[in-house]
Chains A and B, each alone.
Chain A
Amino acid sequence: MSTTTDTAIDATARARDLLGVTRLTNQALTTWLHGLPGVDQVGCEARAAALGTRSIKTTSKKWAIDLAISMIDLTTLEGADTPGRVRGLAAKALVPDPSDLSTPRPAAVCVYGDMVETAKKALGPDSGVKVAAVATAFPSGRASMAVKLADTRDAVKAGADEIDMVIDRGAFLSGDYLTVFNQIAEVKKACGDARLKVIMETGELVTYDNVRRASWLSMLAGGDFIKTSTGKIQPAATLPVTLIMLEAVRDWRVLTGEMVGVKPAGGIKTSKDAIKFLVTVSEVAGDDWLDNHWFRFGASSLLNDLLLQRQRMTTGAYSGANYIADDSPSTAY
């Protein structure tokens, strides 16, 4: 088992070491990132589609559903979020299925920074459910660095266990990799003990080559997780994008011995989809990632579909939405 990146490290020093340069310049980063192997879109999508045809049945399915539930970052990121809604979400995280108390809890609830305290309080100290906060002027990231850092510190101070930051996609797309690197590294410092998820917003990066480069840049700068999306931009967490990120963490581990987590977020709504992702995790990155310390689903409605399927497998009958307790019922799943 590898070491984690949870301990604070000087990202710039390590990057110089990995790149073999005396000074970390944008040129050095560009050379390194552009030297990564290209991604052939068609081949990548074909591989993802093939993984998606795995047929997971009976005991494996049951196991996978529970694992998927345990990997969810149960998320609410709306302007209309209220303390009440957040408390409802926390209650759901604590008891996902009142009709079956053996149902595992999700990994975390994910909220805006001002809701961290509410969430923390609702979950209590011993639930095992983490609180994740989006920060750094989520979702656009269009703010000064001072504001982004303040946003981060604020959430950490309120008790966030995990910080989901967004990268500056504008800087990335304009080739200013050093800015992206520095921002991630600084936010990482501001996180203290909180684990940092780096949202690349892959829907805005568009090409798989960019996804691969952004993944490596995020890992190099000290991200504990690489995450696809904010959920505010389509396409969000597609299987091919996640496949590329899983290849990146796999190869990063070969290079450095360190594991980095992966979090697809947005658009994963069904159990069937979730299981495809787990198959991909298993066959691409390896079983070490089949753990909510290293893999998460950023989702809201996914949990309810997993619960439906879980009930179906437990009772033998197809279930319905009215049998899924929900504080903010929706027909979206």
Chain B
Amino acid sequence: MSKFEYAPAPESRAIVDLQTSYGLFINGEFVDGSGDAFKSISPATEEVLAEVSEASEADVDAAVKAARTAYTRVWSKMSGADRGKYLYRIARILQERAREFAVLESLDNGKPIKESRDVDIPLAAAHFFYNAGWADKLDFASLGPNPRPHGVVGQIIPWNFPMLMLAWKIAPALATGNTVVLKPAETTPLTALLFAEVCQQADLPPGVVNIVTGAGTTGQAIVDHTGIDKLAFTGSTGVGKMIARAIAGTRKKATLELGGKAANIVFDDAPIDQAVEGIVNGIFFNQGHVCCAGSRLLVQESIADEVDRRLKRRLETLRVGDPLDKNTDVGAINSRAQLDRIVALTDAGESEGAERWDNGCPLPDKGFWFRPTVFTGVTQTHRIAREEIFGPVLSVLTFRTPQEAVAKANNTPYGLSAGIWTEKGSRILWMADQLKAGVVWANTFNKFDPTSPFGGYKESGYGREGGRHGLEPYVKTGA
């Protein structure tokens, strides 16, 4: 028990005006879905937040048609400058209503308010602001001759960063002149529906953005719809493969941002205190519900014990609990299903012989929770070193030489991200060259920016989101 007890410092949820039920957002209006309604709950309390419509195949069809009509009649005819101004408006409204979005995101997702407030929502607004400026400058973006939109884009996003992923998807799609049918994840639909209100406030022409809520079957309906020209998906590698198969032999384009099992590599000459922070940020940011999480710590054997000691001491200061408390570092696991998966994989880690440690912090009685956990003595063949746990669980492995670190880091079907910690500049550059990963963080981790392309090698997906590169998947070029 700490001498310095922090009293509860809850962010007020009064700023959020929750409705009891939400419809689909099609053609600029909220409409009832024809599927069964489902409940969105707060994972921290299991409280029902709202009922949400499930979009059926017919609803998806209506959304695609609305998007097509908006594309042909309005959006494709509008100047890039005007498209951009709508995106600027959206960015500004997101900034104005940032606190409301942050609170709702933490309620629905379970993530700490300090992350939704300081990371998710500001970055979401920044993505709109960044892409807004591209809308009338696509000819200068080195995309190839005569860049033009595909038409109607279907977008399916995950539950780990609901608003941020929405922004990553919608902002470049609209900037390049496409219209959108987006499905948020079934456990975190609420901020996307609040975003629909933002579209209304911005006077975005009806049908340019359509939000359809639902689970896998709704997603399938989007993937299979013949009126969709391009898909953008962020989620599991398993579903990514299903999508790739579903569109095989068609002319639908796809961008896939899939799973990861990133190595965070710490050398014995690392700036050790910052490395410990990077390790913590790498795996415990957003409860480890991060595709690019540094879930495999590769630490040089000569400092393994010291890193272990420093890391565990640091983890004892992590505060787990109420996502709306401004001092919470680690929030709730997003769903019962995800918690079950984390439990199953960590049990496997233990039974396969890795040594388990957690920070012993108290956990709330209700809701879905998992203590920050570290496995030491992990080897490459353990399941916890190979499978994406997507939770606050770190697997610690050791290495002896840079070559061995690279070999272990790359020994995975994934290739999304990697971390390097060393004060030696030339080693950073050599390592960065060798690592098969789309994002390499050296002496930092889990940094994101609208100008910075993000996406994976190998089974972590294809296509990039963010930056100039993020425009490429949304345009076709040539005569």
Contacts and interface: CB of A to CB of B under 8 A. Distances in A.
A and B touch in the complex (CB under 8 A): yes
A37 B277 CA distance: 14
Nearest to B309: A254
A43 interface: yes
Interface in A241-274: 247
Interface string A24-46: 00000000000001111011101
Interface string A297-309: 0000000000000
A64 B272 CA distance: 30
Contacts of B7: 56-61
Given A37-B271, A38-B271, A64-B4, A53 B277 contact: no
A247 B276 CA distance: 12
A282 B272 contact: no
Interface string A55-69: 111111101100000
A53 B444 contact: no
B2 A55 contact: no
Interface in A53-101: 53-61, 63-64
Given A43-B443, A53-B118, A55-B327, A60 B273 contact: no
Contacts of B444: 40, 42-43
B114 interface: yes
Contact of A56 (B9, B269, B272, B273): B9
A42 B118 CA distance: 17
Contacts, number: 70
Contacts of B274: 39-40, 43-44, 47
B282 to A, nearest CB: 12
A57 B114 CA distance: 16
A278 interface: yes
Contacts of B271: 37-40, 43
B327 A54 contact: yes
Given A38-B423, A53-B326, A278 B4 contact: yes
Main secondary structure of the interface of A (DSSP, over half): helix
A240 to B, nearest CB: 11
Contacts of A282: 2-4
Contacts of A55: 6, 9, 326-327
Contacts of A43: 271, 273-274, 277-278, 443-444
A287 B2 contact: yes
A150 interface: no
Contacts of A283: 317
A290 interface: yes
B364 interface: no
Contacts of B5: 59-60
A199 interface: no
B361 interface: no
Interface residues of B, number: 24
Interface residues of A, number: 27
Contacts of A278: 4
Contacts of B4: 60, 63-64, 278-279, 282, 287, 290
B8 interface: yes
Interface in B327-386: 327
B354 to A, nearest CB: 26
Contacts of A40: 271, 274, 443-444
Nearest to A279: B4
B270 interface: yes
B445 to A, nearest CB: 9
B422 to A, nearest CB: 10
Contacts of B327: 54-55
A283 B2 CA distance: 9
A53 B114 CA distance: 8
Contacts of A53: 114, 118, 326
Contacts of B8: 57
B6 A39 contact: no
Nearest to A288: B3
Nearest to A243: B273
B403 to A, nearest CB: 23
A39 B114 contact: no
Interface in B283-327: 317, 326-327
B233 to A, nearest CB: 32
Contacts of B272: 37
Interface in B51-85: none
Contacts of A54: 6, 326-327
Interface string B28-42: 000000000000000
A64 B444 CA distance: 32
B232 to A, nearest CB: 31
A61 B271 CA distance: 33
A61 B8 CA distance: 11
Nearest to B8: A57
A299 B5 CA distance: 25
A185 to B, nearest CB: 27
B78 to A, nearest CB: 41
B423 to A, nearest CB: 4
B278 to A, nearest CB: 7
Interface string A90-119: 000000000000000000000000000000
A102 to B, nearest CB: 20
9 contacts: A37-B269, A37-B272, A42-B444, A43-B274, A54-B326, A55-B6, A57-B8, A287-B3, A287-B4
Given A43-B278, A46-B277, 20 more contacts: A37-B423, A38-B269, A39-B273, A39-B274, A40-B271, A42-B443, A43-B273, A43-B277, A43-B444, A44-B273, A47-B277, A53-B114, A54-B6, A54-B327, A56-B9, A58-B7, A61-B7, A283-B317, A287-B3, A287-B4
Interface of A: 37-40, 42-44, 46-47, 53-61, 63-64, 247, 278-279, 282-283, 287, 290
